[in-house]
């Protein structure tokens, strides 16, 4: 329990460590004293800093993305999944988007909720059609996600990139490994199996029937 609480503080509290590259995904699996990257090193085991804390080497992931449907291009969803055994306070974190070749973030939404242990946080666009009675935890006011290609990222309060996925025609920095397929209209891009994260978008994600708030 102590490890997960410490993880939550490290992951989503601003100012817990200096960041050399805000576009580099945080290495939560790094052993104590391991550097987060960059010449000269921001060694978290140094004076005044706590060593990196993991929760079984896991973190909150982008679990499912829908970019639109036949009903509306703004029938969008982004589902987050908490692999940790403790709830994680996401307040201050943001979900961001980059166009296919984009080099800067567009903020989709600033998060204000806590995600339960083993639970889901459902974020939806303005025309989201509740599937099976799913009610979003937070909604945003305009469609953000291009159908052909783009990237979705989760940043913590310190603007570290916690997780990301690039899909379709994307060539942006949100791609982990190789790009995932773009979901067809009314379908979603979903982690298979639920929550898997090998840092290879093409392997971790598959086009599927949307399953908000449920295992993929």
In the chain, the number of structural domains is 1
Please tell me the predicted confidence (pLDDT) of residue 2.
44
Please tell me the predicted confidence (pLDDT) of residue 173.
97
- The mean of the pLDDT values for the chain is 79
Report if residue 56 sits inside a domain: no
Q: Which H or E run includes 201?
A: helix 201-204
Q: Is residue 89 within 8 Å of residue 8, measured between CB atoms? A: yes
111: Cα separation from own chain's centroid: 12
Q: How many CB atoms lie within 10 A of CB 40?
A: 7
pLDDT in tens, 119-175: 999 999 999 976 666 899 999 998 999 999 999 999 988 898 999 999 999 999 999
Report if residue 155 sits inside a domain: yes
Any idea what the CATH number is for the domain that residue 185 is in? 2.60.40.1260
* Sequence-distant (≥ 6) Cβ neighbours of residue 109 within 8 angstroms: 94, 95, 123, 138, 139, 140
Report if residue 54 sits inside a domain: no
pLDDT in tens, 32-56: 223 333 322 222 222 222 222 346 6
Report if residue 8 sits inside a domain: no
Residue 114 lies in domain? 61-208
């Amino acid at each position: 329990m102590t490890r997960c609480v410490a993880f939550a503080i490290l992951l989503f509290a601003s100012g817990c460590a200096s960041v050399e590259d805000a576009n580099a995904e945080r290495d939560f699996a790094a052993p104590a004293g391991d550097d987060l990257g960059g010449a000269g090193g921001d060694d978290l085991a140094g004076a005044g800093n706590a060593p990196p804390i993991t929760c079984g080497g896991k973190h909150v992931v982008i679990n499912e993305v829908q970019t639109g449907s036949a009903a509306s291009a703004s029938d969008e969803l982004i589902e987050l999944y908490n692999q940790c055994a403790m709830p994680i306070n996401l307040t201050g974190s943001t979900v961001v988007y980059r166009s296919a070749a984009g080099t800067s973030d567009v903020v989709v939404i600033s998060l204000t909720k806590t995600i339960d242990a083993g639970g889901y946080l459902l974020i939806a666009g303005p025309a989201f059609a509740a599937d099976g009675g799913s009610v979003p935890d937070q909604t945003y006011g305009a469609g953000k996600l291009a159908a052909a290609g783009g990237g979705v990222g989760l940043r913590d309060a310190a603007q570290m990139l916690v997780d990301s996925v690039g899909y379709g025609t994307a060539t942006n920095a949100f791609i982990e490994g190789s790009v995932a397929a773009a979901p067809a209209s009314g379908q979603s891009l979903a982690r298979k199996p639920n929550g898997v994260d090998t840092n290879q978008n093409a392997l971790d994600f598959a086009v599927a029937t949307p399953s908000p708030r449920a295992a993929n």
